Every structure is written in C-alpha cells, then in structure tokens.
C-alpha cells in the first residue's frame, strides 16, 4: 500500500526506483500502491500483447490479486514510467476488454491484382474469463480477392472468447488499385485541379504567354502623358512639335506659305 501523495512525494518515490500506481475494480475501492520498477519491467518484457495479467501481492493480503495492467503512463521525453493502473479481475467472472486483431498472410488481390489491404478495425471487443484472454486475434486473409472483405462473423474466436462487435462489421477489406482518373482526382482540391503558382516579378518573354496584348483592331494606342517618342520615330499626322523643340537631324523645314497673286 502507498501512503505518499502529492507531486513532491511522488517525485521522491520515483527517485528510489519505485513507481506509483493504483488498483481499482468492480468490487473494491481504488487503492494507491507502489511497485518496484524492476518487477514492472519484467512483467512488461514478457508481454506479447496489450493485455497483461499479473498477480499482485499487496501489504496485508493473504493471497495475490489477479489484475490486468490497464494503463501505463510514460514520460513524454524520458524513457521512464510515471504511473501504472491495474484493474482487479476475478478468475471466476467474465471480463470485457479489447484485443488487437492481426492479419495473417498476403491477400490474393494484393499479390496478383495490385490491391490494398485496408484495416477497418484494429481491435475487437471480447468477453471471456481472465485465463482465456488472448494477446491477439489472428485472421487469415490469403483468400481475399479485390473487393472481398472479412466481417466479424467470419472471424474464428479463440476458445472461451465471445466477440461483442456487430457481426456485419467489416474487419479487413481488399480495395482495388487507383485508376489514373482516381489518382488525378486525389491530387485535386474539391475536384478542381490546383492552379500553377504565380511567380511574382517574372518578366514575360516575347512570343510566350503573358506578353502584352496588341491594341484592338481599328483603335490606336495613345501614348501616356509625358511619354517621349522613340528616337527616329515620325510624329503622328497633325501633331505639333513641343515648344522649343529642335527639329530632328536631317529634317527639312516646312514650305513657306504661298504669297497672294499680284503682290511683289
């Protein structure tokens, strides 16, 4: 039995190689206990599944208690155990828990058809006596073709074990491989292919998409205010030269206006 409570007391307890824990069950009040780290490591090392039955001999007891290791709390960073919970069970009373399910063999639909074995259930709920509790329930899946499945009613439970899940609940299924269309659809978002990302600051190359569109037919583009004509470019018809502007090299002056007849 353990009387130490509180964060500081528990911390000192762990420093001595002792792990705090608790025992609870349908017929007892929760009890605080302490178990040696070495003893707990041995019990977990010999476990072949998630359900581990142990015998607990508590101070003051005349016989050991049969208990199931219900939960082991680990440190998030360090490889140490912080706390362990035990659920006391009776050797003569059936218990309910979950047992991992494991496929055996390679499905025919995977081997020859390129299918994928999908896990619909990772564990099965069972009812049995403690001594009949299996570490894992194995299911042969070698005969499964593409589209075939195994349901709870097809699973052969170990002796003394009753499966509690719905009989029609699928456990394993072999799915068909993805077609090119389905693979493409999987790469889209909401059924629409995601657009290519725009490169900010990219300069369009002449002749490629993105170059400036020509002016509409019948409409001439007007130069922006203050823009200077390119060197050698002829001024537009009717355009007047800017005040003070010098004529371009080689340009001939405009012809003088004709004098009226009869005047010298």
Of 70, 4, 12, 73, whose CA–CA distance to 32 is shortest? Answer: 4
Of 85, 86, 117, whose CA–CA distance to 103 is shortest? Answer: 117
Fold of 95-179: RNA Polymerase Alpha Subunit; Chain A, domain 2 (2.170.120)
Sorted by sequence, the CB contacts under 8 Å of residue 172 that are 6+ apart come out as 103, 117, 118, 119, 120, 139, 141, 144, 149, 150
Cα–Cα dist 16/25, whole Å: 28
Cα–Cα dist 115/61, whole Å: 57
Cα–Cα dist 241/237, whole Å: 11
Of 26, 34, 40, whose CA–CA distance to 5 is shortest? Answer: 34
Taking the chain (264 residues) in consecutive chunks of 10 residues, what is each chunk's mean pLDDT? 57 79 89 87 76 85 88 86 91 94 96 94 96 94 96 96 97 88 67 55 50 47 51 51 52 51 48
User: What CATH number does the domain located at 7-88 have?
Assistant: 2.40.240.10
Cα–Cα dist 86/54, whole Å: 9
Q: What is the pLDDT of residue 68?
A: 92
Q: What are the boundaries of each domain within the chain? A: 7-88, 95-179
Is the model's pTM score more than 0.75? Answer: no
Domain 7-88 identical in fold to domain 95-179 = no
Q: What is the pLDDT of residue 39?
A: 85
Q: What is the pLDDT of residue 51?
A: 83
Strand 95-104 and strand 137-140: the pairing is: parallel
Q: What is the pLDDT of residue 259?
A: 54
Q: What is the pLDDT of residue 210?
A: 45
Q: Which residues pair with 24 in a beta bridge?
A: 87
Q: What is the pLDDT of residue 52?
A: 87
3-state helix/strand/coil string of 80-93: CEEEEEEEECCCCC
């Amino acid at each position: 039995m353990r009387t130490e409570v509180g964060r500081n007391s528990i911390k000192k307890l762990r420093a001595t190689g002792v792990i705090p824990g608790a025992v609870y069950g349908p017929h007892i009040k929760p009890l605080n206990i302490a178990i040696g780290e070495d003893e707990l490591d041995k019990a977990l090392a010999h476990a072949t599944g998630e359900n581990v039955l142990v015998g607990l001999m508590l101070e003051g007891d005349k016989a050991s208690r049969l208990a199931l290791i219900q939960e082991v709390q680990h440190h998030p960073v360090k490889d140490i155990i912080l706390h362990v919970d035990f659920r006391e069970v009776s050797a003569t009373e059936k218990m309910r828990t979950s047992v991992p399910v494991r496929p055996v063999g390679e499905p025919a639909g995977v081997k020859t058809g390129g299918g994928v074995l999908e896990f619909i259930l990772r564990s099965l709920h069972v009812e049995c006596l403690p001594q009949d509790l299996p570490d894992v329930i194995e299911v042969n899946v070698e005969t499964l073709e593409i589209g075939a499945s195994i349901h709870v009613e097809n699973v052969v439970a170990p002796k003394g074990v009753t499966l509690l899940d719905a009989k029609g609940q699928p456990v394993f299924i072999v799915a068909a491989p993805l077609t090119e269309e389905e693979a493409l659809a999987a790469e889209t978002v909401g059924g629409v292919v995601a657009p290519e990302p725009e490169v900010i600051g990219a300069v369009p190359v002449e002749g490629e998409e993105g170059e400036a569109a020509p002016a509409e037919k019948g409409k001439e583009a007007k130069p922006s205010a203050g823009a200077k004509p390119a060197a050698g470019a002829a001024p537009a018809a009717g355009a007047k030269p800017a005040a003070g502007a010098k004529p371009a090299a080689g340009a001939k002056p405009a012809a003088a206006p004709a004098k009226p007849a009869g005047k010298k």
